[in-house]
Structure 1
């Protein structure tokens, strides 16, 4: 099976949907931040491993504690994934922190600051 085959794409989307449901509704670990979302999932073509990219809204400490909580709930997550998705092999999920949303928010703030500064300079120049 090729990495970007239709079957693999369908499996990725199904695993993403189920992981999101399991993390948001079924895990009761207080270390896991309430604003944790699964951004993307990459299941290996042999269905043995899976990389789950997660995004956590919060500071660095919240992100680290969420990763720690998810790693400790690894067995439960895999068991629930096996119950909800009928696959030959249940993938071994590895959680990876995705910083792309945070990076985008920071870049947007910087662009807004630059635009505000440029607007203020234009206003000063027009008043003179």
Structure 2
């Protein structure tokens, strides 16, 4: 999973990667209990990825003690989703990573859904 995430990131256009200095990508088996509660998940399989931090559009100056922007990819939910769908695991990891980087750029879920809908036409 780490290798797929690294390959997905490296495949992004340089201008996007240049906007992600210091973003840390973690791969964990599942979200922790606090995250599941915060995100109102019914199951530990409900969340494929997560961005935590301050989006670039909202950032401004970095405050002392501010944690770096971080992305989590959740291995077991990703594998479960992959097993039930037709897409490749690499495509799924790329999709989730790009989605979470979108949050780093300051995009909401609604913004990204609109972009994807326009791209599908």
TM-score bracket, shorter-length normalisation: under 0.3
TM-score in terms of structure 2 length:
0.27
Q: State which structure, 1 or 2, has the greater radius of gyration over its C-alpha atoms.
A: 1
* Larger helix percent: 1
* Larger strand percent: 1
TM-score in terms of structure 1 length:
0.26
